[in-house]
Amino acid sequence: MHPTLDARTVFYSFSPDLKPALRVDQNQEFILKTLDCFSGQIKSDQDLLDRLDWNHVNPATGPVFISGAMPGDIIGFDILGIKLGHDSRVVVAPGEGVPGEMISSMETVVLKHRENFLDFNGLAMLPFKPMVGVIGVAPKDRTIPNGTPERHGGNMDCRIITTGSRVYFEVEVEGALFGCGDLHSAQGDGEIGVSGAETSGEVRLKGTVYPKLKGLPTPFVETEDMVATIFSAESSDEAVRGAVKNMIHFLNHFAGISVNHAAMLMSMAGNLCFCQVVDPLKTVRFEFPKKVLPVLHVLNG
Ligand code: CA
Ligand code: ZN
């Protein structure tokens, strides 16, 4: 049985003042049971966004203290498994999300989880694409509400953060003080309407410090076949620039590729993607395929 935190052990802001709820060793698997981003407040199609107690949104389960993780270290969290809850909810509201001005009334749809798909009231069948929306570590000198994505992670709503991915952060506080929540059973790039298919569930993880990766531009994601930088900023333009610059920096410092060649390779083989454009800061990622550069196998380990 892996060390487990239940879904009542949540926090709403990443902060250096958080008290560890669980202590684990590096490479030790642990399980976090999570609430949906509305803390379970939206149960039926009749529960609209104006019913929400906004002090209890975007809960993350944790914090988890990883032994030996010291400020300045790069820590990678492997997502080993995701279990989704029994249903999901998606919402719209006037003024919210990219199409906010086209939306004249609030609406909630609760989607049933069928065996192989999400049931949108019989109107549409969506494939399950589980992902973790909020994931991060405590920043050293600030308190950041879980709804905001930044360098420490947070509400990045990045759909490649899923089973089989490793998410790297720079440790700012001893033990890292890790937490995650806000599972989506499906979400498209951009999350344009302001929510994904929001669900509860559980995540199985392990965290490990990678001394060779000191200086990695974080947050950073590694999957079986790609690496990706993630950058959040006030405008999507700034986020685009940040994600691109971080990938150039990564290819330059960790793969020995010149800046010019990195720009060429990224222009030919990389993908610039929106994670989300609806949260307090916008989040962009730059994906680069591993197979293009054999030297990227330095990361495997
Ligand atoms: Ca989210
Ligand atoms: Zn969410």
Q: Output the pLDDT for position 134.
A: 98
What's the gap in Å between 182 CA and the centre of ligand 2?
Answer: 5
* CATH label of the domain that carries residue 131: 2.60.120.580
User: What confidence score (pLDDT) does residue 295 get?
Assistant: 75
pLDDT for the residue 190 = 98
* 191 dihedral zone (left: phi>0; alpha: psi -120 to 50; beta): left
Assigned domain for 31 exists: yes
Q: Please indicate, yes or no, if residue 60 is contained in any of the structural domains.
A: yes
Q: Are residues 184 and 150 in the same domain?
A: yes
Instruction: Answer with the one of 213, 230, 257 that is the final residue of a domain.
Output: 213
Convert the pLDDT of each residue in 237-264 to its tens digit: 999 999 999 999 999 999 999 999 999 9
Structure confidence by residue, pLDDT tens digits, 197-222: 999 999 999 999 999 999 999 999 99
Distance from the alpha carbon of residue 255 to the mean position of ligand 1, in angstroms: 32
List, for the chain, all residue ranges whose pLDDT scores fall below the cut of 70: 297-301
The residue segments making up the domain with residue 283 are: 222-292
State residue 299's pLDDT score: 64
Could you tell me if 139 and 262 lie in one domain? no
Q: What is the pLDDT of residue 51?
A: 85
Question: Which ligand gives the minimal distance to the CA of 36?
Answer: 2
Residues 142, 276, single domain; the answer is no
- Say what the pLDDT of residue 235 is: 98
* CA 195–ligand 2 middle distance (angstroms): 6
Residues 63 and 195 in one domain: yes
Ligand nearest to the CA of 134: 1
- For 194: left if phi > 0, alpha if psi spans -120 to 50, otherwise beta; the answer is left
Tokens 């720009």 correspond to 263
Assess if residue 271 is contained within a domain: yes
Closest-approaching ligand to the CA atom of 184:
2
**DSSP assignment letter at 167:** E
